[in-house]
Amino acid sequence: MLMNAYKRFPVNFVRGKGPFLYSDQNHEYIDCVSGIAVNCLGHSHPAMVQAAKEQSEKLFHISNLYQNDMQTLLAQKLIRNSYHQQVFFCNSGTEANELAIKIVRKHGHNIAPNKTKILYMKESFHGRSTGALAITGQEKYQVDFRPLMGDVVECEFNNIEMAKSLVNEDFCGIFIEPVQGESGIRAVTSEFLQTLRELADQFNALLVFDEIQCGMGRMGTLFAYQQMNVVPDVVTIAKALGGGVPIAACLTREKANNIIVPGDHGSTYGGNPFVCAIAHAVLTELIDHGVVAAVEERGSYTQKKLNLLKVKYPFVKEIRGKGLLLGIQFDESMVKASDVVNSAFEARLLLVGAGDNVVRFFPPLNISLDHIDAMVGRLEQVLDNIVIQ
């Protein structure tokens, strides 16, 4: 009946509350996946529920042909809390990246006909649509869908000399995730990021940050770039922006502003009143009610707990990440990350894997320390029963 696009676990969840999910068999699971960094406030957060109720009694959807107060309020909140000036709302991170591609390409065309090349990073992940897939540096996702969009050039992540050797006047854009999530919670170095900023400025290209997984508070600031010394021309966000409803955004600043004009781009559902009302409630919790401000403390506490597992188990190789964007790398010669995820599921702890034999640890951003203890404690029980290869 359903297209065979997902490898699903044998469970049907019917309700959730905070960091817990409940199956149709009424079994309780601790959720440390958070919809892959989506459910930043956990499940059924009262502020989101109230916003959904209030807005559903007013207006679900209107075309973007008309003004939309909730969209304006959400845009204002993002702009006031960022270094950017313009916002376009869409439905998913992939869509936000597709718009970013169009922005950098049009920027290039406005300068010179052959200024079309885009630099992207090896092991990156920007989405599964054909444009975003072309700048996703993982062959396993690309191979069956070629030919993809052309004039894209791959660079090794954090390789300064390689970036310098590749970028020239023909480049219109540079795409990077400040932390590569899908490939194993791999963080960019400040030196590499500064190099990309300098190259973009030197050759009049636009620097784009994909913060779909690492942004919206997960690293301890609303935007990941706010704790770096580099500000991107374009930043894409999604996932936690809606806390569970489908909304994403592409934000621009300065020379990236006003590139898109009527007719260049659009979205039927993007930024409708219903999703914007809920996203506004999410941002209010994150910013005004102190959730993001507490992420650093919660993240530090979690990392200390996870590092105790590293001391205890020889197959735990490294604890990666910052804030609550965390990954546990296992020694592949002894333990496969997929086995940990599967064993955790049997113990009713939900985890998700990543590249580089990493298991991601993504609790809600408003998680309590007691719930962190419960998550790590259950993970410890799982690791106690891991059979070393």
* CATH number of 158's domain: 3.40.640.10
Q: What is the mean pLDDT of the chain?
A: 97
Total Cβ atoms within 10 A of residue 113: 7
Predicted confidence (pLDDT) per residue in 205-233, tens digit? 999 999 999 999 999 999 999 999 999 99
Q: By residue range, what is the domain housing residue 327?
A: 13-31+292-384
Considering the domain architecture, whether residues 101 and 19 belong to the same structural domain is answered as no
The pair of three-digit structure tokens given for residue 290, joined into one six-digit string: 């102190």
Residue 199 and residue 66 share a domain: yes
Q: What is the four-CA torsion angle of 336, 339, 341, 342, rounded to 10 degrees?
A: 170
Residues 205 and 325 in one domain: no
296 in the same domain as 283: no
Residue 67 domain flag: yes
Which of 233, 264, 288 is the last residue before a domain boundary? 288
| Domain shared by 329 and 233, yes or no | no
pLDDT at 129 over 70: yes
Same domain for 57 and 125?
A: yes
Taking the CA of residue 145 as centre, how many other CA atoms within 13 Å lie in the half-sphere pointing to its CB?
A: 16
pLDDT at 96 (0 to 100): 98
CATH of the domain at 306: 3.90.1150.10
Q: Are residues 26 and 97 in the same domain?
A: no
* Domain end (from 272, 288, 304): 288
Indicate whether 8 belongs to any domain: no
pTM of the entire structure? Answer: 0.97
230 plus 345 within the same structural domain: no
Q: How many domains does the chain have?
A: 2
| Structural domain includes residue 389 | no
b/e sequence 126-150, b meaning 16+ C-beta within 10 Å: bbebebbbbbbbeeeeeeeeeeeee
The answer on pLDDT for 388 being more than 90 is no
* Distance, CA of 231 to chain centre: 17
Residue 82 lies in a domain: yes
Residue 139 confidence (pLDDT) above 70:
yes
Residue 196: inside a domain: yes
| Residue 77 placed within a domain | yes
Is the domain of 22 the same as that of 120?
no
Residues 118 and 241 both lie in one domain: yes
Q: Is residue 17 part of a domain?
A: yes
**pLDDT digit string (tens) for 230-264?**
999 999 999 999 999 999 999 999 999 999 999 99
Looking at the structure, tell me whether residues 338 and 306 fall in a common domain.
yes
| Rounded-to-10 torsion of CA 328, 329, 333, 338 | 60
pLDDT confidence of residue 389? 59
Query: Is residue 23 located within the same domain as residue 134?
Result: no
CB 230 within 8 A of CB 76: no
Residue 38 lies in a domain: no
Q: Which of 243, 267, 288 marks a domain boundary? A: 288
Write the pLDDT tens digit of every residue in 311-347: 999 999 999 999 999 999 999 999 999 999 999 999 9
